[in-house]
Structure 1
Amino acid sequence: MPIKIPARLPAREILEKENIFMMDNEQASLQEIRPLNIVILNLMPEKQKTEGHLLRLLGNSPLQVDITFLKTVTYEPKNESKSHMEDFYTSFSEIKHRKFDGMIITGAPIEHFQFEKVQYWKEMTEIMDWAKDHVTSSLHICWGAQAALYHHYGIDKFPLEEKCSGIFEHQIFNGHGDIKLLRGFDDEFIAPHSRHTNVSIDEIKAAPDLELLATSKEAGPFLMMSKDGKHIMATGHLEYDTVTLKEEYERDLERGLSVKLPVHYFPNNNPHEKPLNRWRSHAHLLFSNWLNYYVYQETPYEWK
């Protein structure tokens, strides 16, 4: 089944070249099927790249998926054109009367701020509280995961001495391979991370409503979820493209920042050699398992 996105969305051309099956509203209306309605709160600075990352994974599913992109009104992004935001994004006030089968909240480059100091934090908490009754399951990524842990469970982030950037090995925690979210996962797998903060593994293990699913000896807790499946948190970026960490590293150098090479990423630790994508299969597994077991299998056919 296809993913349904606006016909003029720039990411569409890239995904078409990759043979991701897509359709427009007119085509979708001819199918006698209720699509899964997914709302994406995209807080990443390069909106169009993130759109491509997520749509690629959401489109690799036997389910028809209808996407709504959500923007903040209390903060206007500096790295995206106003016309793109007006054409393809909507505000919370325009969709809060609706119910969605799934929601994705992305990361954001604002980790150095306390949550309450983030310009759109009040708006963010309103959306997260709204989702409790209006969304079947939410997937939170990187800073979005830390925000969910803080808002819903009181688990705060803490700063790292240096940026956690690279490709890290992870292990399924405490025999949780039988958890539906991890079906098909290897006992050990790799995933990208890119952040300046972390969360306490002990606090997550002590939270009665949370399940810790996967951890990394180097990068810390990676996957966790609420026991009812409504909140799934990933502190890393399985959705990243092959070159995303390279682009972030080069961007930081251009800004004059003192940054180290992403670890376990460039062949021979040489930034001039092309990195290999060794996490793609688990990225598809995570998103397809979430869509199937925590969204499709749990959502009502008709919301009341």
Structure 2
Amino acid sequence: MDIRVLRYFLAVTREESISGAAESLHMTQPTLSRQLMDLEEEIGKKLLIRGNRRITLTEEGMLLRKRAAEIIDLVEKTEAELMAPDEVVSGDICIGGGETDAMSLIARIATDLQRSCPNIRYHLFSGNADDVTERLDKGLLDFGILIEPADMKKYDYIRLPATDTWGLLMPKTSPLAAQPVIRPRDIWDLPVITSRQSLLSNEFSGWLGKDFEKLNIVATYNLVFNASLMVAAGMGYALCLDKLVNTSEESPLCFRPLEPRLEVHLDIVWKKYQVFSGAADRFLKQVQNAFHKEAGAV
């Protein structure tokens, strides 16, 4: 499967037409059509549905679009690392993480490093632990920020000197807003909006004293901002971490911590035996210097 042809395929999915893609690629329409037909023949699957007005994708085409984008990202990342000049620390550092106030620690390290290495560029990816580890495993990220609990078997890591607190996000008009804390019995019958992170259910089951899946879960999220919109609209109450949503005096929402208190630690992780670019290696040394005494360093 040729990288060049994958770029052609992505251009067609972006433009939703052979003619539009051919124009953007500066090639003739018959040549592009031939390349796409050869790709379908090579794979043995139909990828494109050629309509009168626009091109749409088959199920196999949608899968290839996702994989092709990941492959192109990895190729471009590798090329940038290999072509970076030796005498100057430069290049791209890709960091993924969930929404957490601890990202401010990483931001401070990156800012400090930027003063001595201004040619480093940072690329941030937001997602839950499942999203981040998938991209780490594919080599699309150099580092991930994971909220515990997380499966760490494949990673080296350093625990960050920060904890986040779980609680309930709700409208200020809710009767529960009058309470300083939220106890398990308070949410048993509530419509709950919860994170999609797969390992959290065991953690919350222990806190609840009952199976987490027996809650009235009406929605899940991987970005808490979207969950906050559902809370504001009256859909339910969001289990989330503190300090991520505006709960100031002007906001219609408020946050109340869980009781017994449920706190989580955070780790910066990378693949075992990872071969880093010069930029990523410099960043890791900066992290190690900042947190070298933290438990969990490997």
Same structural fold, with TM-score higher than 0.5 when normalized by the shorter chain? no
Normalised by the size of structure 2, how large is the TM-score? 0.25
Q: Considering only CA atoms, is the larger Rg found in Structure 1 or Structure 2?
A: 2
Normalised by the size of structure 1, how large is the TM-score? 0.24
> Greater share of helix residues, 1 or 2?
2
